[in-house]
Structure 1
Amino acid sequence: MRKSVPRTIVADLRTLGRAAPLRAAYELSKRSGFHQVLFRGAPPQHHRATVVPLTTSVPTGPEARQRCLDDARRVRQEGLRVFGQRAATGVTADWSTDPLTGRSWPAHEPWWRIDIRSEARLSDVKYSWEAGRHRDLVVLARAARLDPDGPWCDELTGLLRSWHEQCPPEQGVHWHSSLELALRAISWSQVLALVGERLPVEVVTATERLLLASARHLMIELPYTVSSMRNNHMLGDALGLILLARMFPTARHATRWARTGERMFAAQWRRHLAPDGRMIEDSLSYHRFVLEMLIVRVLLGNAPAQLRRDLHSASLHLARLGVFDGDLPQYGDWDEGRVLASSGDPLDVAGSVALGLVLSGEQVPAQWYAEYDELAWYAPTAPEVTAPTTSTRAADRPGTSAAADHGGRSAVGRPGAVVSGGIGYVSRGPWQVWFKVAGGPSHGHADLTSVWVKHDGRWLIADPGTGTYNGPLDVRNGLRTSAAHPVRRPDGQDQLVPHRAFRWLHTASGHLGAPLVLADRTILFGWHDAYARGPRPVRVGRAVVVADAYVAIVEFADEPAAGRRWSLTVPLHPDVTVEGNTLVSGGTKVDLFGLPGHTLVRGRSTPFAGWHSHTYGSWEPATWITVEDRADTTVWGLGAVPGTPQAHALDGLGFAVTWQPTSASLAVTDLLSGEVQHREVPT
């Protein structure tokens, strides 16, 4: 215990870096009572809001209109949408009600005195915050616009009135996070733009007062944001200031809000995105979240040209990885976080990507405007005649077909491969395979060189998801560490080693080469240095071979395996069962090879293993295949392989890796002809 406390402090200080003194001063202000002084000042002078339209049109097509009205009915009858379920919070219960437990957070306590982090807290605050983001209020405003004679405006008025009464400035859990205030401001701006003229004057005035108080809060909380939230939170807080400055241009400090917001947004966006479209947050959900922040900044107007280019690359990154072919692996943390309002499937990322492509100058199929709310409500009016997106045509984006195939989604099964942002995607025959080699510093999981597999559109090897952030730590770590991912682990080591709920004790870098596309097979190769630490450092690599009949993984290490035990977990989708050496999903049966002596784990609590989380806050039993061996190089996979795979050979091909201090090179030899092809992958 004596050693763990200093180690924890060192890890925290390393994470904060030069911002540690500022964070320390902020925490002292909260504990000393100085926050009471900071937030006790006179309320901001009232100003009337200027309409800032984030949407340019109301959809004319029946699909989007019906989705909205159906969703609005569910809001009235079942409650607000919170992580795959409907919650009474705000609709038939107070806004302070925790959707998870049904109990109430302190409603009339200053927010900084409410414990949301320790084990003594009421609950996981994300549930209450999700309801308080008010995207469902935007749905009601849309319904009122589409159906003026319906009950939607009265319902919306009641929800806003109850919020104004129950959530006064700086009181209660809904004022605890600046990001929540910014996201709520984005929702309210849309409500005022859609039906502001139909709302009672006192409701509009109260909304405006809370928006002005939100701007004041965002400015006072800047020390915390800039010291500790150099991620999506800084982008969101900055976006809130930019929006509020546009909504209240006559406010005394509006110019300062705008200037501060633009500087923060520009600084964070530039360090947040890489040229290839990946982000520092190694998470599919957070990629969409930030993508939508970039979209809102573009919709606000006068966005820098570079921002539009980065929006394009961030959208294209997911398009290349097959987002229009269906759902992708749930890389990293997943919590359904959104900025935009949609009545569609909250797990579908494609609509945000489609909107990002449109706003960055792409053409997309007209039917997408009917399929995706993000286009129907936020994009310019759907064109009558469109062509496939220039960036997602098969000729330009290997691995998928033209975007217009199959009602707007690209066809699966056409041979091809693409590498984008440290992830490889292969579509060949009945297979879709993702090979994730690189990672990022935030919201990622310990999953370097993980391989995820679909067969005929059904998941076989499936990312187990997130489970929780703030719930039981055994669940949190049980789903984000290497033991929950199909990665090779020497002596049971974790790639990163968890520290607290969001941090890691170590960092690692992964490197992925260009695809090697042969006439009958596609090969990807990558390696990482996550285990290049400690008394027995080792680098590991993988070749992923995809043929029409099988998917094979060839394992490599740069050190002999003498005395070392290798572990491997292969997490399966909950619908998959194992019968001997066969995976069964529905009517599909696929052979499993190369994992002799494997054991099965399903729904085990201690230690936590054998689970799958479809969305935040829930998990269900799923079969995990576990293996331990002492082999230096092994071959394993799914499907029917001709002959018997050997340690360095598979289906007429031989594989060998040459390791250098800063690179690894894969040699693939045709054992019949002797022809050799190479893929060198440097750091």
Structure 2
Amino acid sequence: MAWLVNRLRCMSFGEVGYRMQQAAVGRIERRGMSRWTAPAPGGESTGLPRAATPPLLPGETDAILADAARIRDGDVMLFADARFHVGARPEWNRDPASGVLGPAVFAGDIRITDRALVGDIKHVWELNRHLHLVRLAQAWQASGDDQWLAVLRTQMAGWLEQCPPMTGPNWTSSLEMGIRLINWSLVWQLAGGADGALFGGDGGQALRRAWLDSIYAHCQSIARHLSRHSSANNHLIGELAGLYVATSAWPCWDQSARWRAQAARELEDQALAQFSSDGVNREQAFSYHVFSSEFLFIAALAGQAAGRPFSSQYWAALERALHFLRSVTDVGGHVPMVGDADDGTVWRLDPEHNDRAALLLALGSALAGERTPRSASARWLLCAFPGQHPRAMQPAPPGGWSFPEGGYLLFGRDFGAAREIKGLLDCGPLGYLGIAAHGHADALSLTLSVAGEECLVDPGTYSYWQDQKWRDYFRGTSAHNTVRVDGLDQSVSGGRFMWMRKARSHVERMPQSPGQFDFRGTHNGYMRLADPARHIREVRFDDATGTLVVTDRVAAKGAHTVEQFWHFAPGLAVTRNAGGVQVRGKAFALQLDISGEGATVALVRGQEHPPLGWYSRSYEAKQPCEVVKITTESNGATLECRFTISFF
């Protein structure tokens, strides 16, 4: 009930009306008054051009076939790198983690947060995105061996039998339907299209008819249940992309052209609305920056293949998104884990590499004119969606450092070189729209990498659905390199994906360069206290000395408990010394000197109650890390931390 009240408080009157309309549509569907079987074909007769086999480099075919063999034997990879045994004939409504089998009832009646009913819905959905079925189609393309089509036919037929339209947990999310349609289109393309060998022999035509019926039902459900208002974030982009790709691949019905036109129009709008003019995804979550960009790219490639290119403004938004992503990536390939991340991906075409940011940048390089794309993922995508490619994307410009609209500034020196120092300062909003679902309470936090090694880190997300304390911790202020006042988060949570009061940052002094970086900013997150308090942070970096100085002050009438946190990457050697804290990496050393009236320093690692000192590189995985926690009772006194960096 508390969650419901909070959710309603985040809605406009227009959104309340939309939710009521959605509930009415759901009642109609529950009563069986909607038709889900595809009508007779009445649209265009052809979809996308037939896919070709990409040029494969030595070892790539073997890697594809090895992964396909694991899938044939029932082992699939979910999320970033977690393997699960689901069997050669999966039970598609069963959670592969907990073993709970979801009910085969009307999808609108399923409470997806009820773990006793559906298990962990994230695991169910991840399996049913069908990324692994694409691997089977790749194996057939690469080898010509029909055994892979037989495995694919068995799994696809099983899904269609177990998951009829609007029945079971796999029909509870329009976003998941969109991702599934995208991967189905890749399977369809790579398996030879409508007249391919997949649909030959006994049962082939029946499989095609049943599959097309399900595709139609997916499109109809997405079009009816688009994420709107405060939910119109990456979900809306993913739903529209799935609808657009599907109606380009299967323009079979009279409704197809209307659905496709709507999806194209809204994707054009969302590419500009959800990314700032300097290329930052407005959800303030770098993993979702990649996720949303993947959707926009694959829709654009489908549009080109179908002869319906998106506008130059759309492509320019993608170029800006890649520019930002390239800029925040350090020389070792690390991207700071700002905001939420669940390792969700739109496609998985490279069996050996799953660095999604790197793969996205490689796709951008391929579209910018790279003669022979080094990325297997890019080569497969361009062959799955053949035809006229877009006008070459602009060659990648040198990395930037100032993204004021998006809310991020970079400091450091020697960007792209072996002895790179690269820091990221977060001075942007909490998140996007009314609920800011995937933002973290990280105002004025910073990260730092040295010589391609992560040093000061954002600890990540860990899990959406584990015990509430872990969700609260990883998105809370104490899990970020910033200041907490009176033991409270900067922003006030209203649920696992909802913020009720949002701290707003304000830049008071803008730096002029990353090497002579002199920043001053504040946020209002603690002005809600009975004795309002304002956090003021100054960040200075001097490239000549390799010194970073961070000064914090909490301005208020009375004294407050002030805690400052510094999270160090696992694998670094972090020890106390007479001056403060010594940190050693593979190629660098860092000395942290601390000064502040009444300040006490503690080194914390893997604390359970309350959580502190944890790091999560991938979804559902966590490990201890060293955290320097500095505490003082302050009535405006200054707390200064000086980081001196040297190289071996």
TM tier, smaller: 0.7 to 0.9
Give percent identity, aligned residues only: 25
Q: Which residue of 2 aligns with 1:43?
A: 37
1:525, distance to aligned residue in structure 2 (A) = 4.6
Task: Check if 1:472 corresponds to 2:488.
Answer: no
Q: Which residue of 1 aligns with 2:416?
A: none
1:376, distance to aligned residue in structure 2 (A) = 2.1
* Residue number among 80, 95, 100 corresponding to 1:103 in the alignment: 100
1:46, distance to aligned residue in structure 2 (A) = 4.8
1:69, distance to aligned residue in structure 2 (A) = 3.3
What secondary structure, in the 3-state scheme, does the structure 2 residue paired with 1:168 have? coil
1:183, distance to aligned residue in structure 2 (A) = 1.1
Residue correspondence of structure 1 range 433-582 to structure 2 within 5 A: 433-439=423-429, 440-441=431-432, 442=436, 443-511=438-506, 515-517=511-513, 522-534=517-529, 535-547=531-543, 550-557=546-553, 559=555, 563-580=559-576, 581-582=581-582
* Residue number among 161, 184, 191 corresponding to 2:187 in the alignment: 191
What secondary structure, in the 3-state scheme, does the structure 1 residue paired with 2:31 have? helix
1:434/1:451 contact within 8 Å kept: yes
CA distance in 1, matches of 2:485, 2:337: 25
* Residue number among 131, 135, 143 corresponding to 1:135 in the alignment: 131
Counterpart AA for 2:631: E
Q: Which residue of 1 aligns with 2:300?
A: 298
Counterpart AA for 1:504: W
Is 461-470 or 577-586 further displaced after alignment? 577-586
Taking structure 1 as reference, are residues 307 and 66 closer, same or farther at Cα in structure 2, changes over 3 Å only? farther
Q: Which residue of 2 aligns with 1:209?
A: 213
Q: Which residue of 2 aligns with 1:423?
A: 408
1:463, distance to aligned residue in structure 2 (A) = 1.2
CA distance in 2, matches of 1:418, 1:270: 19
1:447/1:485 contact within 8 Å kept: yes
Task: Check if 1:636 corresponds to 2:641.
Answer: yes
CA distance in 2, matches of 1:508, 1:303: 37
Task: Check if 1:620 corresponds to 2:616.
Answer: no
Counterpart AA for 1:76: R
Q: Which has the higher contact order (CA 8 A, sep 6+)?
A: 2
Is 501-510 or 470-479 further displaced after alignment? 501-510
1:171, distance to aligned residue in structure 2 (A) = 1.5
Per-residue CA deviations over 1:90-142 (Å, capped at 9, x if unaligned) read 64541122122122112x22212222124654422011111111111112211
Counterpart AA for 1:255: A
CA distance in 1, matches of 2:411, 2:67: 36
2:295/2:346 contact within 8 Å kept: yes
CA distance in 2, matches of 1:482, 1:418: 24
What secondary structure, in the 3-state scheme, does the structure 1 residue paired with 2:461 have? coil
CA distance in 2, matches of 1:319, 1:305: 21
* Residue number among 317, 330, 353 corresponding to 1:345 in the alignment: 353
What secondary structure, in the 3-state scheme, does the structure 1 residue paired with 2:600 have? coil
* Residue number among 336, 339, 342 corresponding to 2:343 in the alignment: 336
1:355/1:379 contact within 8 Å kept: no
* Residue number among 239, 242, 249 corresponding to 1:240 in the alignment: 242
CA distance in 2, matches of 1:579, 1:311: 43
2:30/2:108 contact within 8 Å kept: no
Task: Check if 1:376 corresponds to 2:370.
Answer: no
Is 256-265 or 326-335 further displaced after alignment? 256-265
Is 538-547 or 282-291 further displaced after alignment? 538-547
CA distance in 2, matches of 1:524, 1:389: 34
Aligned residues: 601
CA distance in 2, matches of 1:572, 1:16: 41
Per-residue CA deviations over 1:210-248 (Å, capped at 9, x if unaligned) read 1112122223324xx335531111122222222332233
CA distance in 2, matches of 1:438, 1:565: 25
Q: Which residue of 2 aligns with 1:13?
A: 9
Residue correspondence of structure 1 range 3-402 to structure 2 within 5 A: 5=2, 9=5, 12-27=8-23, 30=26, 33-37=27-31, 40-41=34-35, 43-47=37-41, 50-52=46-48, 58-62=54-58, 64-77=60-73, 79-83=75-79, 84-89=81-86, 91=88, 93-106=90-103, 108-118=104-114, 120-149=116-145, 151-196=147-192, 197-200=196-199, 201=204, 202-222=206-226, 225-227=227-229, 229-301=231-303, 302-322=309-329, 325-343=332-350, 344-356=352-364, 358-359=366-367, 362-364=368-370, 369-370=373-374, 372-379=375-382, 392=396, 396-397=398-399
2:522/2:534 contact within 8 Å kept: no
Q: Which residue of 2 aligns with 1:658?
A: none
Taking structure 1 as reference, are residues 114 and 238 closer, same or farther at Cα in structure 2, changes over 3 Å only? same
2:36/2:213 contact within 8 Å kept: no
1:501, distance to aligned residue in structure 2 (A) = 0.5
1:89/1:98 contact within 8 Å kept: no
1:552/1:635 contact within 8 Å kept: no
CA distance in 1, matches of 2:332, 2:393: 14
CA distance in 1, matches of 2:427, 2:13: 27
Per-residue CA deviations over 1:449-472 (Å, capped at 9, x if unaligned) read 211122332222211110111221
1:391, distance to aligned residue in structure 2 (A) = 5.1
Q: Which residue of 2 aligns with 1:668?
A: none
Task: Check if 1:592 corresponds to 2:565.
Answer: no
CA distance in 1, matches of 2:170, 2:324: 34
Counterpart AA for 1:349: A
Per-residue CA deviations over 1:67-105 (Å, capped at 9, x if unaligned) read 433433343346221122112236454112212212211
TM-score in terms of structure 1 length: 0.80
What secondary structure, in the 3-state scheme, does the structure 2 residue paired with 1:555 have? strand
Unaligned ranges ≥5, structure 1: 383-387, 399-416, 642-683
2:512/2:518 contact within 8 Å kept: yes
CA distance in 2, matches of 1:450, 1:529: 14
CA distance in 2, matches of 1:101, 1:601: 32
